[in-house]
Amino acid sequence: MTKSCKFLRKPRNPAQWSSIVTPNPLIRSIASRRRTPSTTRSAATKPRSLRTNRRRQPSPMPPARTAPRTRIACFLITVACLLSGVALTAQSVGSGVIAGRILNPATGQYLRNAEIRVVATGQAVTSGNEGDFRISPVAAGQAKLVVTYTGYRTATAIVDVTAGATVTRDFDLISSLQAEAAAGKPVKLGAFVVAGEREGNAKAIMDQRRSMNITNTVASDVFGDNSEGNVGEFLKHLPGVEVEMSFGEIRNVSLRGLGSEYTAVTLDGVSLASADPSSTGGGSDARVFTFEQVSLSSMDTIEVSKTVSADVDANAPAGTINLKTKRAFERAGRRVTVQANVAAHSEELNLRKSSGPGEEMQSRKLRPGGIFEYSDIFLQKRLGVILNISESNLYQEVLATSLTYNRGPTTADPRPVVITAIGMTHSPRFNERFTTTLTTDFKATPQLVLSLGLIYNWSNLWMAQQVVDFTAGARTAIVGTEPLVSFTSSSAGTVAVAPSRNSKAGQTFSYLPKFEYKLGDLLIEGRFAESVSRGWYDPLNQRGTIRNMVSPTASNVTFRAERSSDTSADWKITQVGGRDLANGANFTSPEANINDGRSLRAQIYSGEITATLKTNRFLPVTWKTGVKSKHETFDLKNLLGSIRYNYVGPGSGPVGGWAGFTSPLGIDLGMLGGGVTTASGQPLFMPDMRRIGQAYLSRPDYFQLFLPVNNYFNANVANTRHYEEQVDAAFAMGTATLGKVTFRAGLRWEQTGTDSLEFDPLTNAEVRAAGFPATSRATTIPGIAYQFFTKPRIHRTGGYDNLFPSASFKYALHPNLSFHLGFSSTVRRPEISQIAGVWLVNDQTLRATVPNVSLRPETSDNYSARLAYYFEPVGLLGINFYQNSVKDLLQSLDLTAEEFGYTESDLARYTFVSTTNVPGRVQIRGMELEYSQSLSFLPRPLKGLSVRASYTRNYAEIRRPSMSPHTASSGLSYSGGRFNASLNGKWSDNVPTNEAGNNYVRHRTSLDASGGFRLTPRYSLFASARNLTNAAYITMQTRAGSPPMWSAYQVWGTTWTCGVKGVF
């Protein structure tokens, strides 16, 4: 029986932190352990299997440790006060202010980043998120203003400026496509048609031109319809972006060849919690933001920053992905959007009901979805509200095949390579996402805006996997002159079936209040967030089915395997000997995992106050400073191995126990043209997971718990973690413009505190004294419970702080040609499994796997350069170079006890396995080429064409798994009259999957297409296809003495979506 322990809060008093020193230069010692008053014990009594690293007596952290935070906070508060005073007196005598807004009347959207310039003085500003601008000071008298925005006709106006007063002048910008047409209905029609992709591209280009970071910005409608709402599908076409797939679905996104753990994802600049229960081991992806729990429908634009400035978190060596939500004040008036759609998979393009994903009742695989969005402004244009509700439902299928090779020819068997095993997995699934986003902005006064964002995300993945493994037996007994294409197994072959059911749910609540206070050229902003995310697997309670079987196996089977060529995956397996594979009585009766038990809860609290001041005394300078605090909590649990049962009901026995639970599904290999033929010609036996689940729920006495001691330990001790992290930050930066040059410099300080809640086990001697047997730890379940749950848990704490300088330089070589340099210093913090958990000691292998709570984070100096030429009306051509210089690279190493700093004799001969910081730096370099252009200069009907293309080259001093050395992306779109269409493709080169480089994902090209037809000014039809050519996802192996061969082959099919959309 598991004893629960109350989680204790991290110490807030800095005096409770401690620093430790050990002889090992690669590793700092395991950080100090703060015990409750009743748990103090000398280190000598620590059990050898779970003893923390020996260390000197901890001493309180000196008071000087906290001084930098206090001094920096006081400094920034003082600066903010001074900025307020300057703002009150900044306006010059004899000058005034010009203010206004920039609107696109065709769409009702206000335009941000438009340039407004005073011709006489050259003063220039850019419009804000709501299209608003303010120019100050402007000499009294007449002033000529010029407004420019790519893709729009230049607007000019003469404004009379009065000393000491503010004059308002708004501008309406008209698309440059209207230059050849008269005003009226035809013009309005053209504007409506191009309001999507062309204007989205214009918005993205202006954002990119004005940013002092090296960025790629994209509007959410540029790549056509994405009604399923997966942000990763939308991002994959951008230069420098790579995606991480899981059975055909994009789960994570990485930048510039670095893994997704090096990329930060924010929403409106705020970090959101993300809980993926498959990461309950706290591995390298526990911190990674997964896109399963967010929807694209409520986003306006997505900004991918390759360099970061001092005003954002420094935890992004590869860059940041900022999702910017839609805001009501960015539009004029009311807008209601309604969309209804259906999605279908290429394997089920029909209206019939059919079985699957599991053995539940039959259902239609044509899945409905929709989006509802309401935007309006109330209270005399003081309150703006946007409500967005979206539902996405998809049915998908994946078919995967794996091969095992024997590459050891002998004199008796000179064949170079022989296939010894074939594995097949058919995986149908339902994907459901539901998102509600409510954003409100209230202008309490002309200076003060109060905002609140509420976001709720729900996701559910219901996936059934039908798995079968054919093992051919000894190499010499496998018959076939061309065994890579056709062979017959030995008579000792085996066939194992291993069906599983995954029902994964995710739920996230986010509360995002903020305020903006403007006083002249001073802007004070406050952003706060509470985000709670939970993910869990629970097939028994959600779907009434068990989790999986531990491979029922039929022995002494002879089978023949054939395929059309040595590169194809259309395997046809025919049983030619042995007991019938269609009869469950011929399979063993192993235990079953009745439920899953993996869960993860992540929570983030954050608060930030910033002050921005624009001055123009000697030259235009924008000053910005602020403070921030963020607290993250992770609770991880994995009970999977402890919910395992044997069937002891009617018909039970060592063989044939599951024969009474035969599934009607079998295994479908039709996606690859393959199949399995049993001796009787009936479908291959598969256990019915739902019937077993219902039997367990109705007759639990038919099932007997099977719980080995090691499974109990893993579920209740090793895989139970609570980890907290506090990051406090302060920054200051300035941006100055002198002629054609704009320069920004900033400095950010972050202090990180970590707290891992750990078990405080009794020593082995204490366990044996209580009557429980013990070796490296207790060897019985009661002994484990006594050893680990007798005493309260303890806190192991650590801390460090860093300074992160950043700088950016931009030079306008020509009005349309700019040169941009960027530098930023960033950090990647260790993963939870690397710094939290118990010591795992194996007395047979003499290895001790030990977390390192004092592991230093990786730091990275990032350099980027861009040369970009901007076409008119809407286009760019750019080349980017970058280098990431990573210090203190995290790497798992085998160390002796002396190298690790362990001084006791009991583990002196053991090898210590722990993550350490590698000395020196690792260089990662790359290049990006990007091109996009609206071809509106062509004659009709080609006037509506747009093209884009990009190429990325990545390379590193050491081989990095998942880094693609070459990627290319391209797209062609057309919009004319009532019709629009787009085709987008991406190619990736071979991507290594291990450090040796002998396993890799084969180069692959994928195509996506979309199109639409406008029925009326308010209604339109749309359709899209993802993975249009059903491109295979192939993993290759290379070994000395044999050519490359595929080891895994997956096909995902094509997902089709069509629907109707109305805008009012």
Q: Over 80: is that where the pLDDT of 282 sits?
A: no
SS3 136: strand
Going by their DSSP bridges, the two strands 263-267 and 319-325 should be labelled as parallel
For residue 564, tell me if it sits in a domain.
no
What is the C-alpha to C-alpha distance for residues 1052 and 221, in angstroms, rounded to an integer?
25
φ, ψ (nearest 5 deg) of residue 247: 50, 45
What is the C-alpha to C-alpha distance for residues 390 and 461, in angstroms, rounded to an integer?
17
Average confidence score pLDDT of the chain: 85
Domain count of the fold of the chain: 3
What is the C-alpha to C-alpha distance for residues 828 and 856, in angstroms, rounded to an integer?
9
What is the C-alpha to C-alpha distance for residues 57 and 24, in angstroms, rounded to an integer?
17
What is the C-alpha to C-alpha distance for residues 239 and 255, in angstroms, rounded to an integer?
9
Domain match, 221 and 182 both: no
- The pair of structure tokens assigned to 893 is 């190493």
Q: Where are the alpha helices (DSSP H) in 797-888?
A: 832-835
For residue 604, tell me if it sits in a domain.
no
| Residue predicted with more confidence, 218 or 985 | 985
Domain match, 181 and 136 both: yes
Contact call for residues 268 and 453 (beta carbons, < 8 A)? yes
Q: Which of 153, 187, 221 is the last residue of a domain?
A: 187
Domain match, 174 and 210 both: no
Q: Over 90: is that where the pLDDT of 100 sits?
A: yes
Domain match, 229 and 296 both: yes
Domain range for residue 1025?
A: 944-1064
For residue 51, tell me if it sits in a domain.
no
Domain match, 174 and 203 both: no
Please state, as a whole number, how many other Cβ atoms lie within 10 Å of the Cβ of residue 501: 26
Question: Which region among 134-138, 874-878, 909-913 has the lowest average model confidence (pLDDT)?
Answer: 909-913
| Residue predicted with more confidence, 819 or 76 | 819
Domain match, 178 and 237 both: no
Residue 888, pLDDT score: 85
Residue 251, pLDDT score: 79
Q: Over 90: is that where the pLDDT of 872 sits?
A: no
At 241-257, the pLDDT tens digits run 988 887 778 878 889 88
Q: Over 80: is that where the pLDDT of 677 sits?
A: yes
Contact call for residues 702 and 647 (beta carbons, < 8 A)? yes
Domain match, 323 and 201 both: yes
What is the C-alpha to C-alpha distance for residues 633 and 430, in angstroms, rounded to an integer?
30
Strand partners, 400: 425, 1050
44 Cβ contact list (under 8 Å, min separation 6): none
For residue 63, tell me if it sits in a domain.
no
Locate the DSSP E strands across 935-978: 945-956, 966-976
Q: Which of 158, 187, 216 is the last residue of a domain?
A: 187
Confidence of residue 844 (pLDDT cuts 50, 70, 90): low
Whether omega for the bond prior to residue 941 falls within 30 degrees of 0, making it cis, is yes
Q: Over 70: is that where the pLDDT of 835 sits?
A: yes
Confidence of residue 39 (pLDDT cuts 50, 70, 90): very low
Domain match, 202 and 303 both: yes
For residue 987, tell me if it sits in a domain.
yes
Confidence of residue 56 (pLDDT cuts 50, 70, 90): very low
- CATH (domain of 174): 2.60.40.1120
pTM of this prediction exceeds 0.75: yes
Q: Over 80: is that where the pLDDT of 21 sits?
A: no
C-alpha dihedral (532, 537, 540, 544), degrees to nearest 10: 80
For residue 1032, tell me if it sits in a domain.
yes
Q: Over 80: is that where the pLDDT of 779 sits?
A: yes
Residue 300, pLDDT score: 85
DSSP 873: T
For residue 37, tell me if it sits in a domain.
no
Q: Per residue in 503-539, is it b (16+ CB within 10 Å) or e — as a string?
A: bbbbbbebebbbbbbbebbbbbbbbbbebbbbbbbbb
| Residue predicted with more confidence, 654 or 855 | 654
For residue 462, tell me if it sits in a domain.
no
Q: Over 90: is that where the pLDDT of 221 sits?
A: no
Residue 899, pLDDT score: 72
Strand partners, 417: none
Domain match, 169 and 210 both: no
Confidence of residue 557 (pLDDT cuts 50, 70, 90): very high
Q: Over 60: is that where the pLDDT of 26 sits?
A: no
Q: Over 90: is that where the pLDDT of 183 sits?
A: no
Domain match, 1011 and 1051 both: yes
Q: Which of 146, 162, 187 is the last residue of a domain?
A: 187
Domain match, 245 and 221 both: yes
Residue 995, pLDDT score: 78
SS3 45: helix
First to last CA, the chain: 60
- Please give the share of the chain, as a percent, with pLDDT higher than 70: 86
Compute the average pLDDT of residues 186-194. 39
SS3 603: strand
Residue 8, pLDDT score: 33
Sign of the CA dihedral running 292, 298, 301, 305 = negative
Residue 222, pLDDT score: 67
Q: Over 70: is that where the pLDDT of 13 sits?
A: no
SS3 987: strand
Domain match, 201 and 324 both: yes
Q: Over 50: is that where the pLDDT of 29 sits?
A: no
Residue 852, pLDDT score: 76
